[in-house]
Structure 1
Amino acid sequence: MFEITINYDTCDADQECINACPAQVYDEGEDGKPVIARPEDCLGCETCVEVCPTGSITVQEV
């Protein structure tokens, strides 16, 4: 299982993580920023971490 953390203070709502996630873990929030909707589906691939231009996402195995 993996824990996803988003720093909403630095997130610029570009939605790269939403579009890149192969497991479709994220949904778009009302403000355009990603919402972790299905954390149990996270594969731990860190694709979201790699595509985030602001470095606002971390993924850790728990």
Structure 2
Amino acid sequence: MVEGETADPSAVAVSEGEKKKKARPRGQVTVFGTWCKGCGICIEFCPQGVLKANGQGRPVVARPEACTACHWCDSHCPDMAIVVRRLEPDEVEELEELARLAEEGALPAGGDL
């Protein structure tokens, strides 16, 4: 073996670009409350627990960061009241940065950036 080579190809470091490609998919859920009858199918069966019921029993997005864009909720909604959009990696990074700033209290008053 030559110096600098590795016998195990899986031991080779993964570049940042490759890490982004392999990152868990993320989605953005939009619920159209006026279309929803409140059946609860989406809440009950979301594999990531993204949705919860509001006071009227209709879904609200409680854990947006958990959405993997599996489309289970929007494909099973009998009212077509939910739309899921898969986020691009750069959008995910931007949202994560905004969440970090919000946690630190570093966002300007009124949400103006």
Does TM, normalized by the shorter one, top 0.5?
yes
- The runs of 5 or more residues in structure 1 that have no matched partner are none
Q: Give the CA deviation at 1:50.
A: 1.4
**Unaligned runs of at least 5 residues, structure 2:** 1-25, 88-113
The runs of 4+ residues in structure 1 deviating greater than 2 Å are: none
> Percent of pairs identical after alignment?
34
Question: Superposition RMSD on alpha carbons, in Å?
Answer: 0.8
TM-score computed with the length of structure 2 as normaliser: 0.53
Q: Structure 1 or 2: larger strand share?
A: 1
Establish whether residue 22 from structure 1 lines up as the match of residue 47 from structure 2.
yes
Residue 9 of structure 1 deviates from its aligned partner by 1.0
| Greater helix proportion | 2
What does residue 39 of structure 1 align with?
A: 64
Q: Which of structures 1 and 2 has the bigger CA Rg?
A: 2
Output the TM-score relative to the length of structure 1.
0.93
**Deviations 1:12-47 (Å, cap 9, x if unpaired)?**
000000011000001111010011000100011000
How many residues are matched?
62
Q: Secondary structure at the match of 2:70?
A: coil
